[in-house]
Amino acid sequence: MRNGTRDLLEEALRLPPDERASLASQLLRSLDDDEGEALAPEEWQRLWTAEVERRLRDVREGKVELIEGDAVFRELRAGRKSGR
């Protein structure tokens, strides 16, 4: 990740949760809008609901390992300091 992109990410992470969610949604839509065929909001809601339900099922069934957010950020900061 380039420095400018990293700076933008760090700034975005300081936004309130609702603004981060809106930004993330818009960025994701921009990836899928290659052919000018953006999904309707109802379709996005249906797809994301299915994804959240799948992930929750995976957690409940022990198929995934959960990692605390603080631990993830510590590891990311440590990697950045070590030059990774």
Each domain of the chain, given as residue ranges in start order, spans: 1-38, 39-84
How would residue 83 be classed by pLDDT, with cut points 50, 70 and 90?
low
Answer yes or no: are the C-beta atoms of 29 and 39 closer than 8 Å: yes
Distances (CA, A) of 52 to 6, 37, 56: 27, 23, 6
Quote the pLDDT of residue 55.
93
Q: What is the pLDDT of residues 23-74, one digit of tens each?
A: 888 888 777 655 556 678 888 889 989 999 999 999 999 999 999 999 999 9
Quote the pLDDT of residue 29.
76
Helix (H) and strand (E) counts for the chain?
A: 4, 0
Answer yes or no: are the C-beta atoms of 20 and 13 closer than 8 Å: yes
